[in-house]
Amino acid sequence: MTQTALGPVEVLPPYVDQQLVERLGIEITVCGPDLVVGTMPVAGNRQPIGLLHGGANAVLAETLGSLAAWVHAGADRIIVGQELSCTHHAAARSGRVTGSCRPLHLGTHTATYEIVISDDQDRRTCTARLTCAIPAARRRKTR
């Protein structure tokens, strides 16, 4: 299924069929000002030894944090990830992981979020922190 929007953000028409969130199976379930939640399957996102790939955790975290920054700043703004750190606590081996993103700092030019990723047993598998830049004068073209 091709997404024309991700949360509040319209996917620009030339890129509709090129979204990483679709390839990784990320689904956004909550997208509000104080909480953004998304899930991702372990299957299809594994390391060669069968564990969930840490890079997939990073994509989930940056997706959720970026959406949160768009909700904060406005979907017409250009939001870019500025710094991302991920601490992997435990391996996810099956099922789905769920990421919950909450704000740590909401500023005019930057926004910082903590993203907690947990497995189906509600065990924390990763903690990420993302800072997004919110450029002052640039507006996102929607078409």
List 10, 22, 27, 62, catalytic entry: 62
Tokens for 99, please give them.
């990421």
Q: Are the beta carbons of 65 and 113 closer than 8 angstroms? A: yes
3-state secondary structure the chain: CCCCEECCEECCHHHHHHCHHHHHCCEEEEECCCCEEEEEECCCCECCCCCECHHHHHHHHHHHHHHHHHHHHCCCECCEEEEEEEEECCCCCCCEEEEEEEEEEECCCEEEEEEEEECCCCCEEEEEEEEEECCCCCECCCC
CA distance 57 to 3: 21
Is residue 10 annotated as part of the catalytic site, yes or no? no
Give the catalytic positions in this structure: 62
